[in-house]
């Protein structure tokens, strides 16, 4: 195998390989760039060939004077993979970078590309940044942020035990006061200003109460007047979670979207709710406008789970 710098005569091969990689795994949220010779302008382009001159793959990127080399694309034809071609291309790219005093190489890989991420990890790359994306229409919207409110529901009839545990753990998360009501239908309900305003603190508190009391705890509420969310804890660990608009706060991989869709079987086991009723109530959508008003949706889900007094204290 030979790795050399490409020449103008290699343009047809380079364009063919670029088309191939875009067709195979382009998964960016924007369209792929037009494949023309211009994409190679100002770049270091390396071509790997077998002993007979057959193109195996290529790599191209830039050598930046700020002490790093960035690889835009490494592509190996499917029939020649797992034969060291990628490693050879990167080694040559690194050697060229070293010649001009560069000490680091960077590249981008999609978060969904688990195989690619593992390959780069084995080759010595580590994560140092996260690139984020958002549709422009989402950024251009400036909706007024609505009210957030929530409640914690502890599956017990022991009001005093919940009250004591709340007094112990609430201050640890920066909260104070709080109110305990019930039991209501087999659940003791906790309200607190911290529970309303801070989702992370709310769920950490729910976890602590679940662990300390050995009880199932459900944290349920409305976020920013738009999204209904619940988290179910058993023995301190989260066992199910739901968010009516899964990627409301940030774009999510498909698997994470599914994970926020509620698990009626788990809910049934922990609360005694009918799975079909939970499934019908705990709906998800890509926008709050595609669901009932959050106040109504919260109450539908709470009723399906048998939670009285859910939401506002």
- pLDDT computed for residue 141 by the predictor: 61
Task: Find all residues with CB under 8 Å of 304, minimum gap 6, and list them.
Answer: 273, 274, 277, 278, 280, 281, 282
In the β-sheet with 179-184, what is the strand arrangement from edge to edge? 179-184, 187-191, 149-154, 217-223, 227-234, 237-243
- Percentage of the chain exceeding pLDDT 90: 61
| Chain center to CA of 144 | 25
CB 297 within 8 A of CB 228: yes
CB 228 within 8 A of CB 240: no
Round to whole Å and give the CA distance between 310 and 313.
Answer: 8
Task: Find all residues with CB under 8 Å of 90, minimum gap 6, and list them.
Answer: 59, 71, 74, 105, 123
- The model's pLDDT over 277-289, given as tens digits with 9 standing for 90+, comes to 999 999 999 889 9
On the question of pLDDT at 138 being above 70, the answer is no
Q: What is the pTM of this model?
A: 0.57
Helices and strands counted in the chain (H then E): 11, 11
**How does DSSP assign 147-216, residue by residue?**
--EEEEEES-S-HHHHHHHHHHHGGGGT----EEEEEETTEEEEE-HHHHH-HHHHHHHHHHHHHHHT--
On the question of pLDDT at 131 being above 90, the answer is no
The arithmetic mean of pLDDT across residues 151-162, rounded, is 96
- The model's pLDDT over 231-290, given as tens digits with 9 standing for 90+, comes to 999 999 999 999 999 988 877 777 788 888 889 999 999 999 999 999 999 999 988 999
- pLDDT computed for residue 140 by the predictor: 67
The arithmetic mean of pLDDT across residues 17-22, rounded, is 89
- pLDDT computed for residue 245 by the predictor: 92
On the question of pLDDT at 137 being above 80, the answer is no
Round to whole Å and give the CA distance between 85 and 90.
Answer: 9
- Tell how strand 68-76 and strand 105-107 pair up: parallel
Q: Is the peptide bond before 183 cis (omega within 30 degrees of 0)?
A: yes
Give the chain's domains with CATH numbers. 2-133 (3.40.630.30), 141-305 (3.30.70.1270)
On the question of pLDDT at 27 being above 80, the answer is no
- The model's pLDDT over 185-213, given as tens digits with 9 standing for 90+, comes to 999 999 999 999 999 999 999 999 999 99
Torsion from C-alpha of 279, 282, 285, 287, nearest 10 degrees: 170
- The model's pLDDT over 86-118, given as tens digits with 9 standing for 90+, comes to 999 999 999 999 888 888 899 888 877 788 888
Closest CA to 222 of 293, 282, 294, 292: 294
Q: At 134, give phi and psi (nearest 5°).
A: -155, 140
- pLDDT computed for residue 74 by the predictor: 92
- Cα angle for residues 75, 10, 39 (degrees, 5° grid): 60
Provide the mean pLDDT of the chain.
89
In the chain, beta strands by DSSP E:
2-5, 44-49, 55-64, 68-76, 105-107, 149-154, 179-184, 187-191, 217-223, 227-234, 237-243
The arithmetic mean of pLDDT across residues 51-78, rounded, is 89
On the question of pLDDT at 18 being above 70, the answer is yes
The arithmetic mean of pLDDT across residues 142-162, rounded, is 89
CB 152 within 8 A of CB 209: yes
- pLDDT computed for residue 23 by the predictor: 84
- The CB density around residue 256, as the number of other CB atoms within 10 Å, is 13
On the question of pLDDT at 143 being above 60, the answer is no
Helix/strand/coil for 64:
strand
């Amino acid at each position: 195998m030979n790795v050399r710098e490409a020449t103008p005569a290699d343009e047809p091969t380079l364009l063919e390989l670029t088309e191939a990689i875009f067709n195979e795994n382009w998964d960016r949220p924007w369209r792929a760039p037009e494949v023309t010779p211009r994409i190679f302008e100002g770049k270091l382009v390396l071509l790997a060939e077998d002993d007979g001159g057959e193109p195996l793959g290529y790599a191209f990127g830039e050598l930046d004077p700020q002490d790093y080399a960035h690889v835009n694309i490494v592509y190996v034809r499917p029939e020649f993979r797992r034969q060291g071609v990628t490693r050879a291309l990167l080694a040559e790219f690194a050697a060229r970078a070293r010649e001009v005093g560069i000490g680091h190489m960077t590249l981008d890989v999609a978060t969904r590309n688990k195989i690619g991420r593992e390959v780069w990890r084995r080759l010595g790359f580590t994560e140092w940044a996260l690139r984020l994306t958002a549709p422009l229409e989402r950024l251009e919207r400036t909706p007024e942020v609505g009210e957030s409110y929530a409640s914690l529901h502890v599956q017990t009839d022991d009001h005093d035990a919940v009250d004591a545990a709340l007094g112990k753990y609430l201050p640890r998360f920066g909260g104070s006061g709080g109110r305990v009501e019930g039991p209501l239908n087999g659940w003791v309900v906790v309200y607190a200003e911290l529970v309303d305003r801070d989702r992370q603190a709310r769920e950490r508190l729910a976890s602590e109460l679940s662990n300390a009391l050995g009880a199932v705890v459900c944290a349920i509420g409305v976020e920013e007047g738009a999204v209904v969310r619940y988290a179910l804890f058993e023995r301190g660990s989260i066992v199910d979670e739901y968010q009516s608009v899964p990627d409301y706060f940030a774009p999510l991989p498909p698997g994470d979207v599914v994970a926020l869709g509620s698990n009626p079987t788990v809910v049934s086991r922990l609360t005694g709710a009918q799975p079909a009723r939970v499934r019908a109530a705990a709906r998800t959508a890509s926008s709050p406008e595609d669901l009932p008003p959050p106040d109504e949706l919260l109450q539908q889900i709470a009723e399906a789970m048998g939670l009285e007094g859910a939401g506002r204290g």
